[in-house]
Structure 1
Amino acid sequence: MDGINTKEGKIGSLILRIWFPLFVFGIFMFLLLGKDELYSRFLRNFSGVGRVIFEYGSQIGVWVSGALLAQRFITVFVWDGLIAGISGRPVPRLPKDFTGILMFGIAFMGVLATVFNQSITGIWATSGVFGIILGVALRNVILDVFIGLSMHVEQPFRIGDWVRIHQNRRETHIVGQVIEINWRTTRLKNTEKNMIVVPNSKMGEAILTNYMKPKPYFRIDLEFVLDYEVPPNRAIRLLLAAVKSMIDGTRILNNPEPEVRLDAALSYGQKYEVRFFILPTGVSPKESKHLVNRRVIEHLLKVGIKPAIEKEIVYMERDSLPQPKRKDNGPDYNSIIRSNSLFSTLPEDEINHLEGYFTSREIFAGEKLYRQENEGESLFILIEGLLKSNASLDGSKDIDDVESIEPGQHFGEECVLGPNLRASTVVAVTDCQVIEISAKKVLELANRNGLFLSKLNTETGVSSLKAIQSRYKLKRRTKHEDSKKSDKKKTVGSAIQTFFTDLFPTATTPKK
């Protein structure tokens, strides 16, 4: 039914676009073909001047309305119909305008030749010199028009594509989204929401990068320099966790996967290259850089690491020796625990006292820390990396993501106060490091600190609610899919039944 309504809507739209030029052309054609009948019946007393005006007007009207009708037919059925259907995108204004100019030019020549009995050859010869003068004067405009036509034929970019126009210097490159290609210029919208108008001749001469071809996504590269004190494996884990925490499928993509490479060893640190892919229809290149840069800095600062800077060591005395460099002893657990939303309610001495009551664990990417419904007697805090929790229905293989867990967040608190069953499954997205605190120790802290107990109760309730909401959403999705399968089976069964009924009709008993 929806398909029928859509088809009827398209037909109605076509009729609305064609009826007026068709109606005008029909009127002028009727006046031209039926002029003798009109003279004999209605226009007997028409003066000679009136007849001349009537004849010239009807002939000119046929040519002009015919050009309008032809232009509208080509626009509707060729440009907006055939070409747009093949390309999958709206056709720019330039070819439509050129078609209109061509049709009305033919109509003008037809009026001169048939209505006013002028020699077209003579007109072309007379206008030759004028055309040369005009061509020299308007050479840039003409160049813009023909390069615009060639761009439409070659289609190096389309409306909606993000492109970069390379200039002499990198800082002057133009990056923007194509919003219009007309007979004279190409219009871009840059990341500052401003419109940039570029002559087509400049577009034809410039080196151009189309970010959306051959695939609708493209790669962004960011560089970070970290000190040699940070081991490469740890640096890659931190940077990869930061960029993967931004994946949402509409802006920053999971496929192709983000990656981190050790690009170079510099005098003041190791340079890492963070690569990720974006959909420019969802986020601009500058905005994506801002988002990932911010998240990387947040992840680094949480574990006490700052980007390296160039250093210059100055010795004031000949006998002075350089200070020994601090070795990388890993993350500062106390500072991470102190920044946690739950444990920040504890006094400083309690946090320092925790150091001997937790164990550190490393989990590799893809490994499960624990599964849903498993028994547990501990609470975890993510130190480095990125984790993901998901929930599933009983006996079902379908899963739904509950949340992403980033450094500094705690999880698994439902096994401290409630039944010792895990509410969700936790999987490592990247290589991770976590600390595990026993439920017994957490309860001791809660008994001594009422604010901590209150916060723990709240966090447990929120965690359980997220898991319940995820399972409810999964249940609704499963029901919807089962309903669709059932409807499909009914449709197929009905079609088979109808086929066999038509093939072997039931014999009707003749009436006596």
Structure 2
Amino acid sequence: MSTNPKLKSTAQQLALPLIVSVAVLSVFYFGGDAYQAFGIAAVDSTKKFLKYVLGIVAFVAVGLLLNRIVRLIVFEGIILSATGFVVPKLLSQITSLLIFIITVAACANIVFDQDLTVLWAASGVAGLVLGMALKELLQDVFAGIALNIDRSVAIGDFVQIHKAGDDKIVGQLLEISWRSTQIEDTNGEVISFPNSKFSSFTITNFSASKASGRSVSITIDGRVPTARAMRILQSATIDALTEVMGQYGSLPKIGIKAIKNDGVEYLINFESEYQHIAEATWKIQQAVILHLAKAGLKPAGHKTGEDPIADASFAAPDNARLSALISAAPIFRNVSAEDLALLVQHVRLRNIQADKVVVQTGEVGSEMYLVLEGLLYTSGGRAVAHRPSLPSILRPGDLFDAFATLLGNVHTTTVKTRTPSLICEISIAGLQELFNSNPEALNQVAKNLMEQDSKSGMIWDEERFMAMTAQMHHLFPPATVSSRSLQ
């Protein structure tokens, strides 16, 4: 039977003061009988001394027990579970101080028979003197108490503080102590402010809400259609935010900010928790560059000479770009450029809206797909022997599902669009034209298919390779005379 470690630790910390308190109070309860048991009933001076010692020990033990009950059970138990907030150290320390003062006063009155009226009067005069001498310190203490009670900020929050005309400081709140508040700024330096000064700042709490809105701008050549540009930017942004924060829910908003001489400036608006904003911003910029490159584009700049992509098709990838992307897919490695140029003539480009099914688990594979722009995701996959599984996210440049198409099998994973996407559909008819033109291309593709199988953990098996090649020849029967042999 397992024991809660926190509960065990709490019990251990309460045990000693509880045992001492019970033991000493038991001695007081039984009175003279207990003293006689120690053999000191007849010794008045010793009895009086023992009374003082036991009284002090009793009050110290009870005070310590009460302090730990408040800290461990009330603060770290009831309040933490009810509110979800850790009680600030300053409030815990003030509570401990009050318990200590009450314990000392009670001990003086009960054990030493002192009049508390005189004690409180003396402490009042002393407090007045100390208050005059420690005015600034007391201001800091009460400002710290106000900050903890107000709860406009909490330990761990990311805040921005400033006064009118002063520089802004951004960082994470580390601690609110008796006298000062500590903040770790974005450079990793710890800055301490007197509580009275910190409470007078204008404070922006970035952690008060779950997400903060931010924006990134990017300029793209004006010849690129806005729908295509927004599709690429949206998929790149979601790709980056998913990498930074895991599953990303809300879609970023893409809009046109300005039209300039060098292109159209787009604004990417996204939401992120404050601690992820810096990383998310540069990850988005990096992802935008990568997604544009996959589409054969790049951010616009001032034209200083010949435009290297001036003659390219900005509406969609041209045949040269398609050939380059297909040749980069592992399945078509070492297939000649001439063969791929022929294949590109038989592909079809498809614009698919977000959250649409591209392939369904259990359907017979009749096409394979190359992601050109956008993001897709997989779901409902099932493990199949000799078949590598698809990644959870499909990005530009990823090709799927070659195994189902080339071997005539069913799709083992459902693929849906996460964002509006542009995909290249490679059909069985197009592959048949390629293999009819050059039968050696089929053998090369079969070899690549087998190598992909080996990378998924399977050992190269020559017999299985021959069976796979035979299966492909059956699905793609060779023409009587290949077009390549006629040349």
Answer whether TM exceeds 0.5 for this pair. yes
The within-5 A match list for 1:30-41 is: 30-32=26-28, 36-37=32-33
Instruction: Give the alignment's Cα RMSD to 1 decimal.
Output: 4.0
The residue that corresponds to 2:130 in the other structure is 131
The residue that corresponds to 2:431 in the other structure is 439
Is the counterpart of residue 308 in structure 1 residue 300 in structure 2? yes
1:338 aligns with one of 324, 348, 362: 324
Give unmatched runs, 5+ long, in structure 2. 383-388, 459-487
Is the counterpart of residue 81 in structure 1 residue 77 in structure 2? yes
Q: What's the CA shift string for 1:6-29, capped at 9, x where partnerless?
A: 6x8776544323221222223443
Normalising by the residue count of structure 2, what TM-score does the alignment of the two structures yield?
0.75
Cα deviation for residue 43 of structure 1 reads: 1.7
The residue that corresponds to 1:454 in the other structure is 447
- SS at 1:270's partner residue? strand
Is the counterpart of residue 163 in structure 1 residue 158 in structure 2? yes
Provide the rounded CA distance (Å) in 2 between the counterparts of 1:270 and 1:171.
34
Q: What's the CA shift string for 1:147-188, capped at 9, x where partnerless?
A: 3322332322444x4412234699853233x55544444555
Give unmatched runs, 5+ long, in structure 1. 315-321, 394-399, 466-512
Q: What's the CA shift string for 1:375-399, capped at 9, x where partnerless?
A: 4443322211122233467xxxxxx
Provide the rounded CA distance (Å) in 1 between the counterparts of 2:237 and 2:67.
52
Cα deviation for residue 426 of structure 1 reads: 2.9
Indicate how the Cα distance of structure 1 residues 20 and 249 shifts in structure 2: closer, same or farther if over 3 A, else same. farther
The within-5 A match list for 1:46-61 is: 46=43, 48=45, 50-61=46-57
Q: What's the CA shift string for 1:338-388, capped at 9, x where partnerless?
A: 242334533444444544232322222233334334344433222111222
The residue that corresponds to 1:236 in the other structure is 230
Provide the rounded CA distance (Å) in 1 between the counterparts of 2:7 and 2:395.
54
More divergent stretch after superposition (257-266 vs 449-458): 449-458
Provide the rounded CA distance (Å) in 2 between the counterparts of 1:388 and 1:324.
31
Contact persistence 1:224–1:271 (CA under 8 A): yes
Provide the rounded CA distance (Å) in 2 between the counterparts of 1:445 and 1:92.
75
Cα deviation for residue 236 of structure 1 reads: 0.8
2:252 aligns with one of 255, 258, 266: 258
Contact persistence 1:390–1:402 (CA under 8 A): no
Cα deviation for residue 127 of structure 1 reads: 0.6
Provide the rounded CA distance (Å) in 2 between the counterparts of 1:359 and 1:25.
85
1:389 aligns with one of 352, 355, 378: 378
Normalising by the residue count of structure 1, what TM-score does the alignment of the two structures yield?
0.72
Provide the rounded CA distance (Å) in 1 between the counterparts of 2:235 and 2:141.
50
Q: What's the CA shift string for 1:100-144, capped at 9, x where partnerless?
A: 0011122233344552625124313431442233322xx1x4333
1:43 aligns with one of 24, 40, 62: 40
The residue that corresponds to 1:396 in the other structure is none
Q: What's the CA shift string for 1:70-93, capped at 9, x where partnerless?
A: 212222332122211211243232
Contact persistence 2:169–2:185 (CA under 8 A): no
The residue that corresponds to 1:109 in the other structure is 105
Indicate how the Cα distance of structure 1 residues 134 and 24 shifts in structure 2: closer, same or farther if over 3 A, else same. farther
Q: What's the CA shift string for 1:201-224, capped at 9, x where partnerless?
A: 45423333434434x444443222
Provide the rounded CA distance (Å) in 2 between the counterparts of 1:253 and 1:170.
39
2:401 aligns with one of 398, 407, 412: 412
Is the counterpart of residue 100 in structure 1 residue 96 in structure 2? yes
Q: Paired residues, what number?
A: 438
Provide the rounded CA distance (Å) in 2 between the counterparts of 1:246 and 1:445.
41
Provide the rounded CA distance (Å) in 2 between the counterparts of 1:198 and 1:253.
38
Provide the rounded CA distance (Å) in 1 between the counterparts of 2:368 and 2:308.
40
Whichever residue aligns with residue 285 of structure 1, its letter is I
Cα deviation for residue 274 of structure 1 reads: 2.3
The residue that corresponds to 1:486 in the other structure is none
Provide the rounded CA distance (Å) in 1 between the counterparts of 2:273 and 2:82.
23
Contact persistence 2:162–2:203 (CA under 8 A): no
The residue that corresponds to 1:503 in the other structure is none
Indicate how the Cα distance of structure 1 residues 269 and 350 shifts in structure 2: closer, same or farther if over 3 A, else same. same
Cα deviation for residue 234 of structure 1 reads: 1.1
Provide the rounded CA distance (Å) in 1 between the counterparts of 2:204 and 2:323.
47
Indicate how the Cα distance of structure 1 residues 439 and 60 shifts in structure 2: closer, same or farther if over 3 A, else same. same
Contact persistence 1:371–1:424 (CA under 8 A): yes
- SS at 2:351's partner residue? strand
- SS at 1:126's partner residue? helix
2:357 aligns with one of 337, 355, 368: 368
Contact persistence 1:18–1:73 (CA under 8 A): yes
Provide the rounded CA distance (Å) in 2 between the counterparts of 1:276 and 1:324.
30
2:200 aligns with one of 202, 205, 212: 205
Contact persistence 1:414–1:463 (CA under 8 A): no
Provide the rounded CA distance (Å) in 1 between the counterparts of 2:247 and 2:130.
54
Whichever residue aligns with residue 291 of structure 1, its letter is K
Contact persistence 1:246–1:252 (CA under 8 A): no
2:418 aligns with one of 422, 426, 429: 429
Provide the rounded CA distance (Å) in 1 between the counterparts of 2:356 and 2:308.
41
Cα deviation for residue 200 of structure 1 reads: 3.8
Is the counterpart of residue 224 in structure 1 residue 223 in structure 2? no
Provide the rounded CA distance (Å) in 1 between the counterparts of 2:13 and 2:62.
15
The residue that corresponds to 2:25 in the other structure is 29
Provide the rounded CA distance (Å) in 2 between the counterparts of 1:359 and 1:457.
26
Is the counterpart of residue 285 in structure 1 residue 273 in structure 2? no
Contact persistence 1:167–1:174 (CA under 8 A): no
Contact persistence 1:253–1:276 (CA under 8 A): no
Provide the rounded CA distance (Å) in 2 between the counterparts of 1:446 and 1:416.
17
Indicate how the Cα distance of structure 1 residues 383 and 270 shifts in structure 2: closer, same or farther if over 3 A, else same. same
